């Protein structure tokens, strides 16, 4: 059983092709067949988002996509992000993660960055809450969410301090007056 299938996938702008077993997962195609190791496998159960890549521009969890499903489509991994950015500069999202210190151990980072790129493509002018909700499919075991959210806001051209202050104030306003809020602040 299991006849091999030929796939042709454009990865980071370059054509790739291989005869693969249909059961090969896209993440294994990227890491082992093409040799691009930035895409991590965390949970392998569609929960953590570490394996997030762009498939025809949209974020997907590559542990839950077969390589054959991506045949004749294009994939962007962290290695290829520079190509989406003018002049071969690091992609603005990558620069924002660096500037805001949006990573600690870095394991979640490739998936986080690609999920964030997809989020801004769909939501160019997000609030803090939009960013947090838009990244709900990505877990950071270092719990570095605060700076990750700041990085995404900054990549969207927003002032992270102002956005986080506004969100904290609106959170405080939603909480019943009898409830102790401590210090509301970013």
Ligand X SMILES: Cc1cc2nc3c(=O)[nH]c(=O)nc-3n(C[C@H](O)[C@H](O)[C@H](O)COP(=O)(O)OP(=O)(O)OC[C@H]3O[C@@H](n4cnc5c(N)ncnc54)[C@H](O)[C@@H]3O)c2cc1C
Question: What character string, x for contact with ligand FES (CB under 6 A) and - otherwise, covers 126-165?
Answer: --------------xxx-x---------------------
19 CB-contact burial (10 Å; exposed 0-12 / middle 13-18 / buried 19+) = exposed
Q: Contacts with ligand X in 45-74 (CB under 6 A)? A: 46-47
Candidate list 69, 74, 85, 104; residue touching other proteins; CB under 8 A:
69
134 binds, among ligand FES, other proteins, ligand X, none (CB under 5 to 8 A by kind): other proteins
CB of residue 136 to other proteins, shortest distance in Å: 4
Q: CA 134 to CA 124: how far, in whole Å?
A: 12
- Number of C-alpha atoms within 13 angstroms, CB side, residue 34? 29
CA distance 158 to 107: 26
Check binding of 17 to ligand X (CB under 6 A).
Answer: no
β-strands 5-11, 74-76: how paired?
parallel
Residue pair 18/81 in contact (Cβ under 8 Å)? The answer is no
Position 103 contacts ligand FES (CB under 6 A): yes
- CB nearer to other proteins: give 45 or 180: 45
11, 30, 75, 115: which one binds other proteins (CB under 8 A)? 115
Distance CA 17, CA 32 (A): 13
Q: Total number of residues binding other proteins (CB under 8 A)? A: 33
Give the integer Cα–Cα distance in Å for 20 and 49. Answer: 24
* Interface ranges with ligand FES (CB under 6 A): 41-44, 46-51, 61, 63, 103-109, 140-142, 144
């Amino acid at each position: 059983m299991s006849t091999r299938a030929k796939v042709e996938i454009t990865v980071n702008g370059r054509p790739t092709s291989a005869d693969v077993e249909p059961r090969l997962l896209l993440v294994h195609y990227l890491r082992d067949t093409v040799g691009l190791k930035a895409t991590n496998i965390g949970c392998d159960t569609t929960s953590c988002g570490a394996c997030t890549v762009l498939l025809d521009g949209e974020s997907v969890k590559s542990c839950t996509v077969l390589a054959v499903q991506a045949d004749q489509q294009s994939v962007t991994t962290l290695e290829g992000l520079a190509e989406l950015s003018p002049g071969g500069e690091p992609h603005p999202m990558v620069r924002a993660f660096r500037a805001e210190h949006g990573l600690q151990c870095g394991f979640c980072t490739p998936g986080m960055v690609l999920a964030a790129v997809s989020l801004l493509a769909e939501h160019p002018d997000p609030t803090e809450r939009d960013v947090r909700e838009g990244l709900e499919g990505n877990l950071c075991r270092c719990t570095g969410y605060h700076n990750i959210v700041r990085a995404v806001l900054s990549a969207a051209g927003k002032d992270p301090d102002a956005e986080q202050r506004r969100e904290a104030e609106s959170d405080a306003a939603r909480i019943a007056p009898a409830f102790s809020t401590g210090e509301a602040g970013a």
